[in-house]
A and B are shown apart, each in its own frame.
Chain A
Amino acid sequence: MNADLIVVIVVATALAFDFTNGFHDTANVVATSISTRAMAPSIAVGYASVLNFVGAFISLQVAATVAKDVVQVSAKPEFLLVVFGGLVGAIAWNLITWYFGLPSSSSHALIGGIVGAAIVNGGTSAVLWDGVVGKVMIPALVAPVLAFAVAGLSILIMYRIVGRLRPGPVTRGFRLGQVVSGGLLALAHGTNDAQKTMGVITLALVANGTVSQSHFHVPTWVVASAATAIALGTYVGGWRIIRTMGSRIHKMDSAQGFSAQGAGAAVILASSHVGFPLSTTHTISGAVIGSGAAKRLSAVRWGVAGNIVVAWVLTLPAAAIIGGITYSLTRVFGTGAAGPLVISVLIIAGSAVLFARRAQQTSTTVAAEA
Chain B
Amino acid sequence: MSLVGSIVDGHALLQVVWVSFAAGLGVTAVFAVAIVGTTRTVDMRRNGRGPEAVAYGALALVATVAVAAAVVLAVVVMAHK
Decide if A272 is an interface residue (CB 8 Å cutoff).
yes
What residues on B are CB-neighbors of A169 within 8 Å?
35, 38-39, 42
Cα distance A150–B24 in the bound complex, in angstroms: 6
Decide if B1 is an interface residue (CB 8 Å cutoff).
no
What residues on A are CB-neighbors of B39 within 8 Å?
162, 165-166, 169-170, 173
Chain A's closest residue to B7 (CB) is A134
Of B17, B25, B79, the most chain A CB neighbours within 10 A belong to B25
Cross-chain contact B71 with A180 (CB below 8 angstroms): yes
What residues on B are CB-neighbors of A134 within 8 Å?
7-9
What residues on A are CB-neighbors of B65 within 8 Å?
none
**Cβ < 8 Å to B, chain A residues 263-314:** 263, 266-267, 269-276
Other-chain residue from A143, A154, A162 in contact with B25 (beta carbon distance below 8 A): A154
Q: Is the interface of A mostly helix, strand, loop or mixed?
A: helix
- Residues 11-51 of chain B, each 1 if its beta carbon lies under 8 Å from chain A, else 0: 01101110111011101110111111011101000000000
Cα distance A263–B42 in the bound complex, in angstroms: 29
Cross-chain contact B32 with A161 (CB below 8 angstroms): yes
- Distance in angstroms from A143 CB to nearest chain B CB is 8
Decide if A259 is an interface residue (CB 8 Å cutoff).
yes
What residues on A are CB-neighbors of B74 within 8 Å?
184, 269
Chain B's closest residue to A264 (CB) is B24
Chain B's closest residue to A135 (CB) is B9
Cα distance A129–B67 in the bound complex, in angstroms: 40
Cross-chain contact B29 with A154 (CB below 8 angstroms): yes
- Residues 163-186 of chain A, each 1 if its beta carbon lies under 8 Å from chain B, else 0: 001100110011001001000100
Cross-chain contact A154 with B24 (CB below 8 angstroms): yes
Cα distance A169–B12 in the bound complex, in angstroms: 40
Of B8, B20, B34, B78, the most chain A CB neighbours within 10 A belong to B20
Of B27, B29, B31, the most chain A CB neighbours within 10 A belong to B31
Cα distance A179–B71 in the bound complex, in angstroms: 12
Cα distance A273–B6 in the bound complex, in angstroms: 21
Cα distance A165–B41 in the bound complex, in angstroms: 12
**Cβ < 8 Å to B, chain A residues 22-37:** none
What residues on B are CB-neighbors of A130 within 8 Å?
6-7
Other-chain residue from A58, A149, A151, A173 in contact with B35 (beta carbon distance below 8 A): A173
What residues on B are CB-neighbors of A165 within 8 Å?
35-36, 39-40
What residues on B are CB-neighbors of A138 within 8 Å?
7-8, 13
Of A61, A170, A262, A272, the most chain B CB neighbours within 10 A belong to A262
What residues on A are CB-neighbors of B36 within 8 Å?
161-162, 165
What residues on A are CB-neighbors of B24 within 8 Å?
150-151, 153-154, 259, 262-263, 266-267
| A–B complex contacts, Cβ < 8 Å, 27 sampled | A59-B78, A59-B81, A133-B7, A143-B16, A150-B24, A151-B24, A153-B24, A154-B25, A154-B29, A157-B25, A161-B35, A161-B36, A162-B39, A165-B39, A169-B35, A173-B35, A180-B67, A187-B75, A258-B28, A259-B24, A262-B23, A262-B27, A266-B23, A266-B24, A267-B24, A270-B23, A272-B78
Q: Which residues of A contact B (CB under 8 A)?
A: 58-59, 61, 129-130, 133-135, 138-139, 142-143, 146-147, 149-151, 153-154, 157-158, 161-162, 165-166, 169-170, 173-174, 177, 180, 184, 187, 191, 255, 258-259, 262-263, 266-267, 269-276
Q: Which residues of B contact A (CB under 8 A)?
A: 6-9, 12-13, 15-17, 19-21, 23-25, 27-29, 31-36, 38-40, 42, 67, 71, 74-75, 77-79, 81
